[in-house]
Structure 1
């Protein structure tokens, strides 16, 4: 009984942290994805048309995040069945904290090569879509942009990996994407609402929150493990 109570509490915590991570880290999105969001193709520059394109673009991102969350959730269910979810949670939490504290650590050359090639493929397809003037391409650009490698998204996906069900992981990542929506839509409608200087001051907060997420994952791993043993 104690294990199920702990699992339910952790699930609720994870859903809230998904939306909160997206909301607080959305200023990171401005710096990374801002140029793409501001360049969404479309001839009509009226406020309503720009808002509609912004909603399409961000809906594409949210859909991709939910899709990735579902896929990782299936893997996470395998870890749960095997009884390794608590160990995986602690390990991922420790990695998140480590890379948040030491962001300039270089990954192995082979991994960086694969990372770079994948990024080139996605960026090339996005560049092709930018040449079109159709509004519908905004959604596809958002879909592709959701696959672009990003440490901020990886942090959210790490939590999705250690949830109990694939559906829960999907919802978590969808809420993460929705958390980024307010700031991203504001940027579409009013590009200058946050100055570059203010962005640089706010950006470190996404790092701080990533550390908190990492610590919560470590805590979750020990609590769930303790719950299993107590059960």
Structure 2
């Protein structure tokens, strides 16, 4: 496939989307460190979260594979939708539109069913609690995750789609892992307009790149 579905791209999407991720997951990361920084528990939480991303990517890859085998032109349609979603998500991250807020609201129904599973895992004292907690919170309705998931679906390969989503999770690991240690400073940083604009512009760029790679071969 010629489209830019590369692991570097997935990692950079996670890294540059970290501003949004700190807003979505920062609360639970902070809760894990209420009794002082515990890197082992933090790592366990993120392992669980990334495992969920991988499972979602695997499911998306199966759907993408089925669609690509069932319809000859579906790949072109999926890549176009993916590029458009990434562009809209970039503007959303930059604070320029609320058009994709509905994606997060759409996932709230599933989240309300899953969230009670985390109640017995907080406060978290061991890896046996941290990893399942991360797995549950991996389903937190996040527009960036859903947009990246639609992008990974285009790979039409369960293993590759799962790997792309896990690498995406690794991309936002540095910001979230340091959140507990530098909460105040990072909170101020993620609220700065230039940080939002930089992150949003980067994601928009990948969306434009995806559309270009899709349609340049059709002209």
Q: TM-score range by the shorter chain?
A: 0.7 to 0.9
| Match in the other structure for 2:207 | 214
Separation of aligned partners in 2, 1:20 and 1:52:
25
Residues 85, 106 of structure 1: alpha-carbon distance in 2 compared, 3 angstrom cutoff: closer
The question of whether the paired residues in 1 share the 8 Å contact of 2:15 and 2:172 is answered with yes
Separation of aligned partners in 1, 2:100 and 2:65:
30
Separation of aligned partners in 2, 1:207 and 1:184:
18
The question of whether the paired residues in 2 share the 8 Å contact of 1:88 and 1:221 is answered with no
Shift of 1:130: 1.1
The question of whether the paired residues in 1 share the 8 Å contact of 2:11 and 2:170 is answered with yes
The question of whether the paired residues in 1 share the 8 Å contact of 2:104 and 2:143 is answered with no
| Match in the other structure for 2:3 | 10
Size of the alignment, in residue pairs? 211
**Rg: which structure is higher?**
1
Work out which of the residue numbers 162, 167, 180 in structure 2 matches 1:170: 162
- 1:161-200 equivalences under 5 Å are 161-194=153-186, 196-200=187-191
- Unmatched segments (≥5 aa) in structure 1: 1-6, 227-231
Separation of aligned partners in 2, 1:117 and 1:92:
23
- 1:85 and 2:85 are equivalent in the alignment: no
- 1:51 and 2:44 are equivalent in the alignment: no
Instruction: Give the superposed CA RMSD.
Output: 2.7
- 1:48-127 equivalences under 5 Å are 50-81=38-69, 82-83=71-72, 84-98=74-88, 100-101=90-91, 103-105=97-99, 115-127=107-119
| Match in the other structure for 1:151 | 143
- Between Structure 1 and Structure 2, which shows a larger proportion of helix residues? 1
Shift of 1:207: 2.6
Separation of aligned partners in 2, 1:165 and 1:26:
26
- Unmatched segments (≥5 aa) in structure 2: none
Shift of 1:222: 1.7
Of stretches 127-136 and 65-74 in structure 1, the one that deviates more from structure 2 is 127-136
Shift of 1:179: 0.7
| Match in the other structure for 1:229 | none
The question of whether the paired residues in 1 share the 8 Å contact of 2:46 and 2:173 is answered with yes
Q: TM-score, normalised by structure 1?
A: 0.79
| Match in the other structure for 1:141 | 133
Residues 14, 132 of structure 1: alpha-carbon distance in 2 compared, 3 angstrom cutoff: closer
Shift of 1:131: 4.5
Shift of 1:107: 7.7
Question: Which deviations, in whole Å up to 9, do the C-alpha atoms of 1:39-84 show, x marking residues without a partner?
Answer: 02786x3x5xx11011100011111111111110111112322321
The question of whether the paired residues in 1 share the 8 Å contact of 2:16 and 2:203 is answered with no
The question of whether the paired residues in 2 share the 8 Å contact of 1:41 and 1:135 is answered with no
Separation of aligned partners in 1, 2:26 and 2:115:
14
